[in-house]
Chains A and B, each alone.
Chain A
Amino acid sequence: GQNIDQPTEMTATEGAIVQINCTYQTSGFNGLFWYQQHAGEAPTFLSYNVLDGLEEKGRFSSFLSRSKGYSYLLLKELQMKDSASYLCAVMDSNYQLIWGAGTKLIIKP
């Protein structure tokens, strides 16, 4: 079966760095997406990786290792507004997105 695993919840301090991990087992791979979802709102696109390595976008970076079935989202200089759920999704061989349950990130002052 297809499976995406992420930690359920993480806590970090304002100004610090946090890494949210995602491991996956899917039928085929056509890229991995990270989304941010604030409570009660729609998911919004953050990043896309299809090749191994690190993609950087401002305070957010996303890493992919296809051989290990592993990705992480790195958030630097954490701000209170970064409190949200972070969703990992893999595009399978049928170009359908398989979603993890999300990691709820709590930022403390």
Chain B
Amino acid sequence: IAGITQAPTSQILAAGRRMTLRCTQDMRHNAMYWYRQDLGLGLRLIHYSNTAGTTGKGEVPDGYSVSRANTDDFPLTLASAVPSQTSVYFCASSAGTGENQPQHFGDGTRLSIL
């Protein structure tokens, strides 16, 4: 079944550790996104990529980095995790970046930083 796969599903991590969240899509979508979702807040964009080989910063990029070496994969790295990065992380993709381009979401990664 076509879609977006995120891994791991959940993780508990010690503060200061490095962590990479994986995201793979098989829909050949050009654009990909990383969001975090916290209770009482809307989804907040961390980083995005409009096409393979390019990335951009979203609303809350500090402490996170991404790469887009090919169309399918868009990993998110926390270089040195801090407790404020405890959140649910969603990866999403869309066919393009213009109007009427709905984003499709993976099932999320629940990350706890202790």
Residues on A lying within 8 angstroms of B by beta carbon are 4, 30-31, 33, 41-45, 48, 50, 87, 89, 91, 95-102
Whether A102 contacts B42 by the Cβ 8 Å rule is: yes
Q: What CA separation (Å) do A70 and B45 show in the bound complex?
A: 23
Q: Is B62 interfacial (CB-CB < 8 Å)?
A: no
Chain A: minimal CB distance from B98 (Å): 6
Whether A31 contacts B100 by the Cβ 8 Å rule is: yes
| A41 neighbours in B (Cβ, 8 Å) | 107-108
Give the residue of B44, B45, B100 whose beta carbon is less than 8 angstroms from that of A48: B100
Q: What CA separation (Å) do A42 and B41 show in the bound complex?
A: 15
Residues on B lying within 8 angstroms of A by beta carbon are 40-45, 48, 58, 90, 97-100, 102-108
Chain A: minimal CB distance from B17 (Å): 25
The verdict on A50 contacting B99 (CB below 8 Å), with A4-B42, A43-B90, A101-B40 known, is yes
| A31 neighbours in B (Cβ, 8 Å) | 99-100
Whether B102 contacts A87 by the Cβ 8 Å rule is: no
**Which of the listed residues B43, B90, B98, B104 has the most CB atoms from chain A within 10 Å of its own CB?**
B43
